[in-house]
Amino acid sequence: MDQTQPLFEINPEEYGDLITILSIDGGGIRGIIPSIMIEFLESEIQKLDGPDARIADYFDIIAGTSTGGLVTSMLTAPNENNRPLFAAKDIKNFYLDHCPKIFPQHNRVITEAIEMVKILTGPKYDGQYLHKILKEKLGDTHLHQTLTNVVIPTYDIKLRRPTIFSSYKVKKNPSMDALLSDICIGTSAAPTFLPAYHFETNDPKMGVREFNLIDCGVAADNPTKLAIGEAKKEIIPTKVITKVRFLVVSLGTGSQKIENTYDANEVAKWALQQWLTHKGESPLVDIFMEAIKGIMDDDLWTDLQIFQSQQYYLRIQDDTLNRTISSVDIATKENLDNLVKVGEELLDKPVSRVNLDTGILEPTNQGTNREALSSAAKVLSTNKRLAEAGSPHGK
């Protein structure tokens, strides 16, 4: 795929009309990978605007699913000085320090037997340490208090539909104003790995509302499209629509290299057993997830074309991980260190985009991810400076 036009070449008249979005995929311990991208992006912004610059100062919306929701909350929750609770450089260490306690690993000789018993009797992990550390770090912070707009999708198992926690929605519906810790626990409750999570909010006017949540990775592992949807409903009506442009940095958490593909002649003979498990994989689940991802990719690209924002979109993803590194929970020191290495190497890989016909990531001839993030930092800095100076192109 050849994209000769450089990324983030912004017409000066478009500054201030940019709607800036940072999106972070789900993926358990693989949240380490986007944390390295975010650390680099923030460091590039700090070279321009000083050491106090933070990611939340530069994005209109930060969206995250599952582990991405945790990163979103860490970047946007306020500390006692009403500044972001975490600097970007601290997020990687959060994962390295706490993942081994969230996903405790047993001796490999007995791990498989233990995992089989746990899978048959309940979630693989009890989630108690995750609940504890999130409540400790995020405290009494509610959704409406984030330092920029956030979008964190979950799935309500009782309502059987997605529940999207959004800074925009909470302004109109205060029953959505949950604790960030509760939202994070809900969005990270991946079926079979962590228990579903129940909590309630109590608004004086709207009364008690209950939530019964699991990870929304089953439907929106990449929340970019949801973030654009919120912007289309809430921000665009306040602007001249022909001038609106999206600047999107979408960060994946890596995925396993696809080894097995199937053709119609082969699967035409399958019974239920083969659809559920074949060659160590689960074709039915994999096909379901890939189909949703493909539809979302198509829909997202349509939006980018409508708003003439194709060259303002950066997707960073590695789809070549092996089975161990691509796991959501193998939190051994070796595997966590390997994820750090994957993230660091990904910075210097070429910018790539999904071929919508094949679903395969292909280089775009637009430099490296490191170079693209550095360019994005310059645009974000200029956009913020002009807006604050009251430029006619400001927000």
Catalytic residues: 66, 215
Residue 18: count of CB within 10 angstroms of its CB: 25
Cβ proximity of 386 and 12 under 8 Å:
no
Distance CA 99, CA 117 (A): 22
Cβ proximity of 152 and 134 under 8 Å:
no
Strand-pair category, 350-354 with 149-156: unpaired
Cβ proximity of 127 and 185 under 8 Å:
yes
The DSSP element (H or E) to which 362 belongs, if any, is strand 361-368
Cβ proximity of 342 and 328 under 8 Å:
no
DSSP secondary structure of 24-91: E---GGGGHHHHHHHHHHHHHHHHHH-TT--GGGT-SEEEE-THHHHHHHHHHSB-TTSSBSS-HHHH
Distance CA 35, CA 298 (A): 26
